[in-house]
Structures are given as C-alpha cells and as structure tokens.
Amino acid sequence: MKNETPSVGVPAAVAASPRDQATMSGQPRPNTGDGIGKDTRRRVITASFIGNFVEWFDYAVYGYLAATIAGAFFPTADKQSGLLLTFGVFAISFFVRPLGGFVWGQIGDKLGRKNALSLSILIMSAATFAIALIPGYNTIGMWAPILLLLVRVVQGFSAAGEYAGASAFLVEYAPANRRGLYAAVVPASTAAGLLLGSLLAAILSITLTADQMQDWGWRLPFLLAAPMGLIGRYIRTKLEDTPAFRALTDEDKAIKAPVAALFRNHWKSLLLAVGAVLLNAVGFYVILSYMPTYLSSELGFGATESFAATTIALLTYIGFIFLTGMASDRYGRKKVLITASVLFIVLTVPAFMLLDTGNFLVIVLVQILLGGMLTLNDGTLPSFLAELFPTRVRYSGFAVSFNLSNALFGGTAPFVATLLIGMSGSKLAPGWYLMAAAVVSLIAVLCARETSKDPLKAH
C-alpha cells in the first residue's frame, strides 16, 4: 500500500500532519508498517467518531422524546395510540433506508467514502434542525404530523449512509490485526450520541414543568443539530479518502455500478449480512432507544428515573464496546457474534421479567447486562460486515444489508414492541421479540466464513 498524497483542492498542511509531510519531502516518519502515519490514523478515528456521534444524536433524540412528541403531534389520540402513531412515524422513516443504502453505496464506492460521509452529515443535521421548527398539531392541524413524517424520511435517507460509511472508512485505514478495535469506534460513537440525547432528555425532564416540556422544551435538543453538523462536516473535509479506495481509483478500477455488481456477484454474502444484522437492528432500538419509553409507559417509572437508568447503561455500553472489538480481533468475529446470539436466546426473557420488579437498582443492572450482551454483537458487526465484501462494493454491501435489516426490523422495533404488548397483554413481549431476532442472527453467522484473519480484498 503506497504512502498518502494530499487530495485535490486540500492544502498539504491540512491534508497531512507534520509527520506525513516529512515523508513527502523525503524524510522518514514513524508509521505502522503500511505507510500510514499514526497521526493520520488518530485524525481518522476522531473524524469518524465525531461525525457518527452527530448523526446518531440527531436520529436518536426522536426516540427518547417520543412520549412528549406524541402529545405535540397527536394530541387527540389516547396515550397508547399516540405512542403507536409516533413510533409509526419512526418506523416509516426507516423504509427509505434501503433506498438510501443503494444511493450512498453508489456514491461511496464510485466517488469515495469521504464524499459520501461529508454530504450525509449535512442532510441529517438540516433535517433534525427542521423538526424543531415544525408547529404542533394545535397550530397547523394535520400538516404537523405530515411535515414530521417528511422530515423523518429525510433523516432516514441520510442515516442510511453513515454507519456503513464510517465503518468502511475505519476498517480500510486500520492495521490488519486491529480492524475490529478500529471499527468499534462506530458503535461507540453511536452510543455516545444516544448518551447525550438521554442526558439532555433527563435534564429537561428535571428542570422543566410538564407544560413547558410539551410546549417548547422538547424542541431544544433538535436545535443543536445545525452547529454540531457543521463541526462534523468541517472535520471530515480535512481527511483524505482511504488508501484502499485511492488504490482502486489510481488504477482506474473504481467500479461504475457497484450495486449491480453486488447483487450479481456477492448475493450470498448480502443475504448472510442481512441475517447477521437482525439482532443489532432489533436489540439496538429496543435496548438503547425504546427502553426509556418502555420503563415509563409500560412499567410506570418516572421520566427522570427512566432516562437515568438508560444513561448509566449507555456509559457501560461504550466501555464494553471497545473490549468487544479487541476480543473479535483476538478470537475471531464468528465466535463473538455467536456468543452474543446465544446469550440473548437464553437471558433476554428472564431479564425482562426482572425489569418488572419495580426496583430501580435491579432495572439499572438489567440494562447494563442487556447492553453488555448487545456490545458483543454491535462491537463486532462493523468489522464483520466490512470484511465480508471487497473494496469495490464494500460501502454498497454494508449499506444495503445493514439498512435493509434495520428498515424491516430495527425501525419497526419500538412499534412492534408496543403493538405486541397491547395485543398480548404481556410486558415480556419485547423480550420474546429480541430472542427471535437472536435466533435468526445465530443461523446467519454460523453459515458465514471467518473474516478477521483475511486481508481485505479489492475485487
């Protein structure tokens, strides 16, 4: 793999650190044996973390404030119907994500990972900021939920390119024996975005009255989207594209129609990837996004307690995720992913039984347990998916599989969980749903090959 050169239109002083510039002038620099300087990798990690953090803070705030948003946009419905409508809007916005996966995959594999990631963060931030400006139902009637739905669709389209692109970016920059650890930055930054959303929701619920929260307080986190998005984009524009992608373009081998090639030549890997993502799709949105609403609406806990429990769980999740990335580098992706599925099959329903004890400490411990189990999947999945596909279609393969599974099962998870509780009368319904998702993921991972020790393939 050759050394880096500054990208067109980016000054060398910005595109490369002093150590990298030393190499350009013929002086030696410290590197990791593949021509990529340590300073470059640090900047790649920082840019990937911050950019993904911004995108998923924007996307997750809606889930944390679902109960309040239901009152603002669906005030005529009863409590459960309002929640179903709010989560229905949440779910519908996911249906555009497969389309977004196709589009962002095409951009990322044809024009570069950097270009796709820089554009997606702008779209996400603008859409999230727009939510804060939509008048409520009492002001503009049915136009309020219609506008909310349209903006959520734009959010879904943007998010379709973020997780896949950031994962591909990190894996292609990582040392061969640390791809799992580097890729774990993506779910860690996602959880950090959720954490900020949870903290803001908790602070608002403590400091504002119910009427203030309903009238204007829920809008405040959405207003942060614009400045945060601009910061994230600025950082991303200061990086070069990955060495793997630049090697293809230098040889004029960047593919012209990556999505078509994906379905023609890599359909088996695509099917396995969709199945492997299922536990992540359902688990992420049930455990880390839907849980505060479940605790408050179904188990009767106060909003502050619910957000506090989720915040504590998110803090431990971020710590666990890096340990999982390192474990997958050492023991292999399949072993860690299989362990995650087995634990969810065995422990999920008992864990949901414990949530109903009414004891706050028990609830916190259960959420930490569920979050720790989820990290075994989430911390391994980004490197596993990126390694399944060659460089020419890596962005497309990751984006299409990840977003298809999330559209069908992730975005619908809060809606399905609420619906199953209503239909069955059982508060354990979300636990059974999670267990079923783990079974499907287990089968897919068992059928896949081990990828951790293989070099990244270009074609």
- Give me the DSSP letters along 107-164: HHHHT-HHHHHHHHHHHHHHHHHHHHH---HHHHTTHHHHHHHHHHHHHHHHHHHHHH
Average pLDDT over residues 10-34: 41
Average pLDDT over residues 175-189: 93
Distance CA 85, CA 93 (A): 12
Show the CA angle centred on residue 316, arms to residues 313 and 319, nearest 5°: 150
Residue 246 lies in a domain: no
Which percentage of the chain shows pLDDT scores above 70?
Answer: 88
Give yes or no for residue 18 having a pLDDT over 50. Answer: no
Give yes or no for residue 19 having a pLDDT over 70. Answer: no
Instruction: Tell me whether residue 412 is exposed, middle or buried, using C-beta atoms within 10 angstroms of its C-beta: 0 to 12, 13 to 18, 19 or more.
Output: buried
Closest to 120 measured CA to CA, from 217, 54, 22: 54
Residue 317 lies in a domain: yes
Domain count of the fold of the chain:
1
| Mean residue pLDDT across the chain | 82
Q: Are 178 and 34 in contact (CB under 8 A)?
A: no
Show the CA angle centred on residue 46, arms to residues 45 and 47, nearest 5°: 95
The 3-state DSSP class for residue 180 equals helix
Residue 31 lies in a domain: no
Amino acid residing at 376: L
Q: What is the CATH number of the domain that holds 84?
A: 1.20.1250.20
Residue 23 lies in a domain: no
Q: Are 370 and 288 in contact (CB under 8 A)?
A: no
Closest to 42 measured CA to CA, from 33, 31, 53, 52: 31
Give yes or no for residue 330 having a pLDDT over 90. Answer: yes
If you search the block for the tokens 């030393």, which residue do you land on? 22
Residue 117 lies in a domain: yes
Q: Are 105 and 395 in contact (CB under 8 A)?
A: yes
Secondary structure E strands in 288-327: none
Residue 408 lies in a domain: yes
Average pLDDT over residues 35-56: 82
Residue 311 lies in a domain: yes
If you search the block for the tokens 């803090």, which residue do you land on? 315
Kindly state the tokens that stand for 336. Answer: 């860690």
Average pLDDT over residues 367-394: 93
Domain membership of residue 380 as a residue range: 40-234+260-447
Helix axes 143-173, 113-133, angle to 10 degrees: 150
Who has greater pLDDT, 67 or 149? 149
Sign of CA dihedral 362, 363, 368, 370: positive
Average pLDDT over residues 269-282: 94
Distance CA 233, CA 47 (A): 9
Residue 109 lies in a domain: yes
